[in-house]
Amino acid sequence: MISDIDDTVKITELPAGSRVVIQNTFFKEFEAAPGMAERYAEWEDAVFHYVTGAPWQLYKPLTSFLFSEEAGYPKGSLHMKNLRKNFFNPNSWRDLRELITNENMTYDQKFGQIRGLFETFPERRFILVGDSGEMDPEIYSAVRELYPEQVEKIIIRDVVNARNLDPDRLIDMKVIPANTVYPGVSQFQ
């Protein structure tokens, strides 16, 4: 089982924009995506790998939330974005700017980490779970093209109403309808 985190199992509202994302990440208690922990509990014998575009500096708060009794997600490995934290190094500022502005950075990082899992465990079949808010459908489609025998299914939590607005993104994927996230608007305000 390979799962995204933001807007798949934790409400972050990435399509709403950086102001809302910063608010939901640093100034509010993390909120579990409705019904997702119960879905994950149905896969009793699965091994879980959480692949996220979030930087590794969020490892402790994310694991404390995900694996808490309240959120109830199964324990698993986390595969996160590498972000330098020495702010006296100009490359750290470049990393931070790229994190905020370059969606291809997250695509490349997640694709590479998922590909590494497929190559490390060639005998496993995987269920890929993500959301429609960023590039999960595109990443998972590319993975399925490379490893068709290893992808059991793709499940997408649809947070941008892609099922109606852009259904081609979700071909051959199981869709979980969710509250639509609009640019600049948080569903919690």
CA angle 74, 75, 78 (to 5 degrees): 120
- Work out the average pLDDT over 105-123: 94
> Of 89, 35, 34, 24, nearest to 58 (Cα)?
24
The token pair at 91 is: 């490359």
Where is pLDDT greater, at 102 or 8?
8
Task: Count CB atoms within 10 A of the CB of residue 169.
Answer: 18
- Work out the average pLDDT over 86-93: 58
Flag whether pLDDT at 105 surpasses 90.
no
Q: Which residues pair with 10 in a beta bridge?
A: 6, 32
Flag whether pLDDT at 30 surpasses 60.
yes
Strand order in the sheet with 174-177: 76-81, 48-55, 2-3, 126-131, 151-158, 174-177
Half-sphere exposure of residue 184, counting CA atoms within 13 Å on the CB side?
0
**Model pLDDT, residue 91:** 63
**Model pLDDT, residue 99:** 56
User: What confidence category does residue 98 fall into, taking pLDDT thresholds of 50, 70 and 90?
Assistant: low
The token pair at 168 is: 């081609």
Where is pLDDT greater, at 104 or 50?
50
Instruction: Give the architecture (CATH level 2) of 2-177.
Output: 3-Layer(aba) Sandwich (3.40)
**Model pLDDT, residue 142:** 98
Q: Which residues pair with 128 in a beta bridge?
A: 2, 154
- Work out the average pLDDT over 127-149: 98
Cβ–Cβ < 8 Å for 47, 1: yes
Q: Helices 103-120 and 136-146 sit at what angle, rounded to 10 degrees? A: 40
Cβ–Cβ < 8 Å for 118, 148: no
**Model pLDDT, residue 153:** 97
- Work out the average pLDDT over 79-96: 66
User: What confidence category does residue 187 fall into, taking pLDDT thresholds of 50, 70 and 90?
Assistant: confident
Whose structure tokens read 């291809």?
104
**Model pLDDT, residue 74:** 97
Cβ–Cβ < 8 Å for 13, 187: yes
Flag whether pLDDT at 93 surpasses 90.
no
Task: Count CB atoms within 10 A of the CB of residue 183.
Answer: 10
68-78 pLDDT, tens digit per residue, is: 999 999 999 99
155-182 pLDDT, tens digit per residue, is: 999 999 999 999 999 999 999 999 999 9
- The three-state secondary structure class of 47 is coil
**Model pLDDT, residue 84:** 56
Q: How far apart are CA 18 and CA 165, in angstroms?
A: 23
Q: Where are the domains of the chain?
A: 2-177
- Work out the average pLDDT over 34-56: 95
